[in-house]
Structure 1
C-alpha cells in the first residue's frame, strides 16, 4: 500500500491520500488519487519518483553523463525544501497505528488509516 502526503513549507501536514492498494510507483499513486487534476502540480515539490507529473523535482543524472553545476545547485535547493516533507512523513510514520503491526484484518486498513487521518485534521481544526 502507498499513502501520498503533502505538507506546507513550514512542515504542517496538509493532506494525506487514502491508501493506494498494490505495489505501485509514486507517480501512479499520486495520479490514482486525482489530486493533481484539481490542483496545479507546478506548485508541488516531489522527489525523483514524481518526474513527469509537472511537479518541481530534482534533475536525474543522465545515463552515462553528469549533471551540470547549475543542475546540481538546483537539486540542492529542491532537496532543502523536500527535507521538510521528509520530516512530516517520518512523523506520520511514528503514529502508533502505522508504527506497530496492524492487528486487524488487512481489508479494514483503508478505513482505519482514513479515520486516523480524519481525527488528526479534526484535532487541528479544533485548536
Structure 2
C-alpha cells in the first residue's frame, strides 16, 4: 500500500493525486477517457502510451502535450511564450483563436468537476473505486449534453 501511495504523490500539488486524459468532440461529447494514472505522470507520456487516432483528424491540444504528433493528425496548439521574452501580436491572436475552440474541452472537464467527488480527496480504495470515478462523471456529462446540448457561436 505504501508503494502505491508513493507512486501517486505529486510533488507539484503536494498531495496524492490521480489524473486522466480526455478527448472531446466539437459538440462537447467526451469520446475517450484514459485509464487513471498517478498525478505525476506527464501528459505526453500518457498520450504516447494510451491512445491513438485511426482516422485523419484535427487535434486541438494544450501545451502539456508539446511534441506529441501522431501520424495523420493535424495538431493545433497554442504557441508557448519563449523564456524571458514576450509573444508577438500574431502569436497572441493565434492563441486567442485556439483558446476559443479549446474552451469547449475545458468546459467538458469542468462539467465533470462540478461533481465534488472528482476534485475532493477520496479514501475509498476498494474495488478500484478511485479509478472509476472520473470516467463515470464524464459519462454523466455526456448524458447531460445529449439531453441539453451546449451552443457555442464560433
Give TM-score, length-normalised by structure 1: 0.75
CA apart distance, 1:92:
1.3
Say whether 1:30 aligns with 2:47.
Answer: yes
Pick aligned residue for 1:51 from 66, 85, 90: 66
Give 3-state SS (helix, strand or coil) of 2:61's partner.
Answer: coil
Deviations 1:28-49 (A, max 9, x none): 222231x136465x62111111
Moved over 4 A (4+): 37-40, 117-124
Return 5+ residue gaps in structure 1 as ranges: none
CA apart distance, 1:68:
2.1
CA apart distance, 1:85:
0.5
Pick aligned residue for 1:76 from 81, 92, 96: 96
Greater helix fraction, Structure 1 or Structure 2: 1
User: What's 1:14 paired with?
Assistant: 31
User: What's 2:13 paired with?
Assistant: none
Would you say how many aligned residue pairs link Structure 1 and Structure 2?
123
Question: Cα RMSD between the aligned structures?
Answer: 3.0
Greater strand fraction, Structure 1 or Structure 2: 2
Return 5+ residue gaps in structure 2 as ranges: 1-17, 70-74, 148-154
